[in-house]
Amino acid sequence: MEDKPILHVSQVGINFGGLKAVDGFNLKLYPGELIGLIGPNGAGKTTVFNLLTGVYTPTEGEIMLNGERINGLAPFKVTRKGISRTFQNVRLFNEQSVLDNVKVAYHSLARHSIISSIFRLRNHFIGEQEMEAKAIDLLKIFQLDKVKDEKAKNLPYGGQRRLEIARALAAGPELLLLDEPAAGMNPQETNDLMELISFIREQFNLTILLIEHDMKLVMGICERISVLDHGLLIAEGTPDEVRNHPKVIEAYLGEEVISNHA
Amino acid sequence: MLKKVNTFWLAIILAFVFYGVIQLLISTAIINPFYSNTLIFICINIILAVSLHLVIGITGQFSIGHAGFLALGAYISAIMTMELGMPFSLALVAGGIVAALAGLVVGIPSLRLRGDYLAIATLGFAEIIRIIFLNIDYVGGAAGMQVTHATTWTTSFLCLLLTIVVIVNFTNSRHGRACISIRENEIAADAMGINTTYYKVTAFVIGSFFAGIAGGLYAHNFYIIQPVNFGFLKSFDILIFVVLGGLGSLSGAVISAILLTVVSTFLQELPETRMIIYSLVLVMVMLYRPQGLMGTREITDYFGKWKWKRIKGGNQYGG
Amino acid sequence: MEWLQQLFNGISLGSIYALIALGYTMVYGIIKLINFVHGEVFMIGSFTGFYAIAFWGLGFFPSLVLSMTVCAVFGVVIERVAYKRLRNSTRIAALITAIGVSLFIQYVVIYIRGAQPEAYPNVLPNRTLDIFGIQISSQSLLILLVSVVLMIILQFIVHRTKIGKAMRAVSFDPDAAKLMGINVNNTISATFAIGSALAGAAGVIFGVYYTKIDPLMGIIPGLKAFIAAVLGGIGIIPGAVVGGFVLGIVETVVSAFGFSLWRDAAAFIILILILIFRPSGIFGKNSKEKV
């Protein structure tokens, strides 16, 4: 923990027409950590992701990535700085092939220009070949290489979820944000997903921040957990500390009992 | 990779063989001027269809003001040849460049808009361009401008080939994939590091460039150009090529441009009937087959699928 | 007093735009569709009024009512035949269909009766009144009065009647409205009927005021009314009225300064400026797609 934090969020908040969706949010992520972000419905979890990735500009506070201020940057610039994400409601490029979905995310790593592509110069072929090779390697890890030519919309649901993670990885992140990756999966699929997340974290040297409703998944793999309720951070700590935190129990009462879930 | 290069050159060679055969038939007068003129008209319409396909079909930006760029190309090239005495080839390029610049000027502000709002804004820009020409005496105002006949089968074929090669190559590269990803899901494209504004504007500029080229060919094929030729109905004509062919399918746009040009040549004497048929077809397509004739598929996909199925014996999912 | 005269002309023109814009805005508010056919409904209304006056010898008010009725039915038919199937398709498909239907109507009318214009008969007594030093024809005063009365009636329907309440509910959230027992289909049809009736009225008024009508007359006023609706904030009823009047005045002023050929361009420039700088219009609220 003596490393510098990769992501340092301090006192970040956002207003939507007078309504404070997130208020005074703090978070420190250190390299290699896997942190969970939980909270009841409407607590502002996805809003936090949207703030971190530049979809929304915070009305107050500061987001620092590797010591560099990134609030207000356009989403594609944030991605190029090293934060990549998946979406709660899967957002794939449906009509494009599985392979092309991943290639799109490799876009900013390639260098060949529009001119070289239009006139099919040498750089175009080198660049495209490199992208293709990288994309296929990545798809193999996610066991999607056999369906690389299928349209993304034709994949089964679990496959679409995995493709979205593969695509996020292709964008070359240091920090990966996963928005409810196990939503809609059965227990078997969820288990496989947990293994996959652990594996890619090692393989790609990732820091991961995860929103999840499936408490089993969060408690099982996260080292630390932050709990959000009504836009406010109400607890922070190890899974055990969070589980027994009075405010957390209070926030979840009436919605679900944490330990019995899943 | 070697295979891809070969198919590319094979296609080019085939195209030139086709060109040569037609040229031979024209010069031996087997194809009479009426039909050769129809061929030129088909080339111009394909260029328009394919250039709009890049904007609407590939990038998903709903522009219904393509006639504005056609008008710019037509007027600029006509000024170049008629007033400044420049050669036709230079005039074509100049028309394309001015149209592309206009595309840049129009694109940067309006591509912040989405869906129907963008559509209306492009329509507005096209109307403004038309009204500007209507009010400039230098280009004849409402009476229009006389232009010499300079467009031949050779020039229109070369321009068509250039358009298709550029747009196909653009589409099948990381740049084209970026554009398609914007069409499919702009928010996700942005989150994957695609500079969406840059690519929307680029697609718009390339599309406008070729619309400008088509304008040059158009002007030098009809002896006279008038602002009334470039109204909303002209934009609509181009739009219907793309929509009927299938949003996202280049071959679809080409096929429907050929089909509809032939149909409207036969209905030349009955403009009302033509418009009734056109609009009815458009409405029927939207109600019963909104993906158009081809959907997002290309002709080549049919060959590909056939081969793939034969080798693999049906498709399998990897779990 | 010259500018006062121009202001009055602008308001007269604006009232026509406003009447058409109301239909645009109501339909957009309820099914989020730019109903391009609206300009053609206006044209049909104008022709209905023309035939009623010229061939059946009806007076101004009976013709107005007849034309509004015909247009209301016409609007509902278009909605039922073409748009109803499109409720779940993409916005682009809906927009293309609207353009297609609009052209279809224009050219069917041309096919049936030809493209030649028609001179609107003079049905209203026309005396020139001198009010505060400006010349106002009794005709344009009456027209303005009719427009304003129609707008007041609309305001009453939307805010005081059951169907108005249903319209507001459906435009706010169609699914929730359905769960509350509102017949969404009928409500949408009613919206089309009311909007189209207003366009029909605008058609007759336009004919009487400008005296020349033709089958393509709907395109430009239709587009301008749409611009007026966007200007006021599309989906917002008072916005359409204000937008219509503003546009009418601006156009009259542009003409008055001797740029009458640029009049149409002025409207489109306003449209583009408003789309770029304030796409939600004068009265609109900004909304962003949910991620």
Q: Are the C-beta atoms of C30 and C170 separated by less than 8 Å? A: yes
Q: Which domain holds residue A2?
A: 1-82+173-262
CA–CA separation, C54 vs C254, rounded Å?
Answer: 34
What CATH number is given to the structural domain containing A200?
3.40.50.300
Dmax (CA) for chain B in angstroms is: 69
Residue type (1 letter), B182? I
Q: Sorting pLDDT into bands at 50, 70 and 90, what band is A30?
A: very high
**Segment B184-198 mean pLDDT:** 95
Residue whose C-alpha is closest to residue B66's, from B229, B182, B232, B261? B232
The residue count of chain C comes to 291
Q: Are the C-beta atoms of C209 and C252 separated by less than 8 Å? A: no
Residue whose C-alpha is closest to residue B148's, from B239, B78, B75, B87? B78
CB contact, 8 Å: A149 with chain B?
yes
Shared domain check, A32 and A131: no
Residue type (1 letter), B78? A
- Please, what is the angle between helix B153-171 and helix B250-266, to 10°? 150
The C-alpha angle with vertex C96 and arms to C94 and C102, in degrees rounded to 5, equals 100
Choosing from A170, A186, A216, the residue where a domain stops is: A170
The number of domains in chain A is 2
- Please, what is the angle between helix C60-78 and helix C184-210, to 10°? 140
CA–CA separation, C248 vs C25, rounded Å?
Answer: 17
Is B159 domain-assigned? Answer: yes
Is B31 domain-assigned? Answer: no
3-state secondary structure of A29: strand
| Count of beta carbons in the 10 Å neighbourhood of residue C89 | 14
* CA distance, residue C274 to nearest chain A CA (Å): 22
pLDDT of C69 > 90? The answer is yes
**Segment C130-153 mean pLDDT:** 83
pLDDT of B312 > 50? The answer is no
Residue whose C-alpha is closest to residue C15's, from C264, C267, C202? C202
Q: Are the C-beta atoms of C103 and B275 separated by less than 8 Å? A: yes
How many Å separate Cα B306 from the centre of its chain?
29
Strands A175-179 and A83-85: parallel
Alpha helices in C213-236 (DSSP H): 219-232
Q: Which residues of B touch C272 (CB under 8 A)?
A: 109-110, 121, 124-125, 128
CB contact, 8 Å: C216 with chain B?
no
Shared domain check, A146 and A202: no
Alpha helices in A98-223 (DSSP H): 98-106, 114-118, 122-141, 157-170, 187-203, 215-221
CA–CA separation, B257 vs B272, rounded Å?
Answer: 19
CA–CA separation, B247 vs C236, rounded Å?
Answer: 32
Is B272 domain-assigned? Answer: no
> What pLDDT score was predicted for residue A233?
86
> What pLDDT score was predicted for residue B216?
97
Cβ-count burial A181-190 (b if 16+ within 10 Å, e if not): bbbebeeebb
pLDDT of B194 > 90? The answer is yes
**Segment A145-168 mean pLDDT:** 93
> What pLDDT score was predicted for residue B118?
87
CA–CA separation, A119 vs B275, rounded Å?
Answer: 39
pLDDT of B114 > 60? The answer is yes
Q: Which domain holds residue C56?
A: 2-123+133-277
Choosing from A117, A136, A170, the residue where a domain stops is: A170
What CATH number is given to the structural domain containing C30?
1.10.3470
Q: What is the pLDDT of residues A42-83, one digit of tens each?
A: 888 899 999 999 999 999 999 999 999 998 899 999 999 999
Q: What is the pLDDT of residues B129-173, one digit of tens each?
A: 999 999 998 998 889 999 999 999 999 999 999 999 999 999 999
CB contact, 8 Å: C179 with chain A?
no
> What pLDDT score was predicted for residue C291?
56
Selected for mutation to probe chain C from B256, B279, B285 (highest C CB count within 10 Å) is B279
Is B146 domain-assigned? Answer: yes
CA–CA separation, B262 vs B146, rounded Å?
Answer: 26
Shared domain check, A121 and A67: no
Q: Which domain holds residue B101?
A: 38-231
Window B:192-251, CB contacts with A under 8 Å: 192-196, 202, 248
CB contact, 8 Å: A75 with chain B?
yes
CB contact, 8 Å: A87 with chain C?
yes
pLDDT of B317 > 70? The answer is no
- Test B191 with A103 for CB contact under 8 angstroms: no
* CA distance, residue B197 to nearest chain A CA (Å): 10
> What pLDDT score was predicted for residue C285?
67
Is B290 domain-assigned? Answer: no
pLDDT of B306 > 50? The answer is no
Residue type (1 letter), C52? A
Give backbone dihedrals phi and psi of C18, rounded to 5 degrees, phi first: -60, -45
Within 8 A by CB and 6+ apart from B247, the residues are B56, B57, B291, B292, B296, C92
* CA distance, residue B113 to nearest chain A CA (Å): 17
* CA distance, residue C101 to nearest chain A CA (Å): 29
**Segment B84-95 mean pLDDT:** 95
**Segment B32-60 mean pLDDT:** 94
CA–CA separation, B42 vs B234, rounded Å?
Answer: 15
Residue whose C-alpha is closest to residue C46's, from C216, C195, C189? C216
Tokens coding A213: 């409703």
Shared domain check, A21 and A105: no
CB contact, 8 Å: C286 with chain A?
no
CA–CA separation, A233 vs A43, rounded Å?
Answer: 9
> What pLDDT score was predicted for residue C212?
92
CA–CA separation, A162 vs A139, rounded Å?
Answer: 10
Task: Cite the beta strand spans of chain C per DSSP E.
Answer: 118-119, 128-131, 134-137, 212-213
Residue whose C-alpha is closest to residue C269's, from C259, C22, C103? C259
Q: Which H or E run includes B184?
A: helix B174-184
Residue type (1 letter), B160? L
Tokens coding B126: 């096209």
CA–CA separation, C143 vs C123, rounded Å?
Answer: 12
What CATH number is given to the structural domain containing B168?
1.10.3470.10
Q: Sorting pLDDT into bands at 50, 70 and 90, what band is B8?
A: confident
Is B175 domain-assigned? Answer: yes
Residue type (1 letter), C128? T
A254 conformational bin, left if phi > 0, alpha if psi -120 to 50, beta if neither:
left
* CA distance, residue A199 to nearest chain C CA (Å): 28
pLDDT of C290 > 60? The answer is no
CB contact, 8 Å: A160 with chain C?
no
**Segment C164-172 mean pLDDT:** 89
Q: Which residues of B touch A110 (CB under 8 A)?
A: 174
First to last CA, chain B: 30
Q: Sorting pLDDT into bands at 50, 70 and 90, what band is C256?
A: confident
Is A87 domain-assigned? Answer: no
Query: What are the Cα distances from residue B51, in Å, to B63, B113, B297?
Result: 11, 20, 17
The number of domains in chain B is 1
User: What's C120's DSSP letter?
Assistant: P
**Segment C120-138 mean pLDDT:** 79
Is C284 domain-assigned? Answer: no
Tokens coding C286: 């900004």
Query: What are the Cα distances from residue C142, in Å, to B96, C9, C147?
Result: 53, 13, 9
CB contact, 8 Å: A97 with chain B?
no
Q: Sorting pLDDT into bands at 50, 70 and 90, what band is B303?
A: low
The number of domains in chain C is 1
Is A231 domain-assigned? Answer: yes
Of C86, C95, C268, the CB nearest to B124: C268
Interface pTM, i.e. ipTM: 0.91
Selected for mutation to probe chain B from C32, C104, C287 (highest B CB count within 10 Å) is C104
Which range, of A129-138, B31-40, C86-95, averages the lowest pLDDT?
Answer: C86-95
Give backbone dihedrals phi and psi of A83, rounded to 5 degrees, phi first: -115, 125
For chain C, the average pLDDT equals 88
Within 8 A by CB and 6+ apart from A77, the residues are A54
Q: What is the pLDDT of residues A96-137, one digit of tens each?
A: 999 999 999 999 889 999 999 998 899 999 999 999 999 999
How many Å separate Cα B244 from the centre of its chain?
13
- In 3-state terms, chain A is what percent helix, strand and coil (to 5)? 40, 25, 35
Q: Sorting pLDDT into bands at 50, 70 and 90, what band is B292?
A: confident
Q: Sorting pLDDT into bands at 50, 70 and 90, what band is B59?
A: very high
Choosing from A170, A188, A218, the residue where a domain stops is: A170
Is B142 domain-assigned? Answer: yes
pLDDT of C48 > 90? The answer is yes
Q: What is the pLDDT of residues A14-28, one digit of tens each?
A: 988 778 888 889 999
Q: What is the pLDDT of residues C177-216, one digit of tens each?
A: 888 888 999 999 999 999 999 999 999 999 998 889 999 9
Q: Are the C-beta atoms of A21 and A51 separated by less than 8 Å? A: no
CA–CA separation, C143 vs C204, rounded Å?
Answer: 10
Q: Sorting pLDDT into bands at 50, 70 and 90, what band is C18?
A: very high
Q: Are the C-beta atoms of C215 and B271 separated by less than 8 Å? A: no
First to last CA, chain A: 32
Residue whose C-alpha is closest to residue C72's, from C128, C120, C23, C122? C23
CA–CA separation, A144 vs A98, rounded Å?
Answer: 8
- Test B131 with C264 for CB contact under 8 angstroms: yes
Q: What is the pLDDT of residues B250-279, one digit of tens each?
A: 999 999 999 999 998 888 888 889 889 889
3-state secondary structure of C261: helix
Within 8 A by CB and 6+ apart from C171, the residues are C29, C30, C235
pLDDT of A157 > 60? The answer is yes
Question: What residues pair up with A177 in beta bridges, in sequence order?
Answer: A85, A209
pLDDT of C224 > 50? The answer is yes
CA–CA separation, A47 vs C155, rounded Å?
Answer: 39
> What pLDDT score was predicted for residue B309?
42
pLDDT of A1 > 70? The answer is no
CB contact, 8 Å: B131 with chain C?
yes
Is B258 domain-assigned? Answer: no
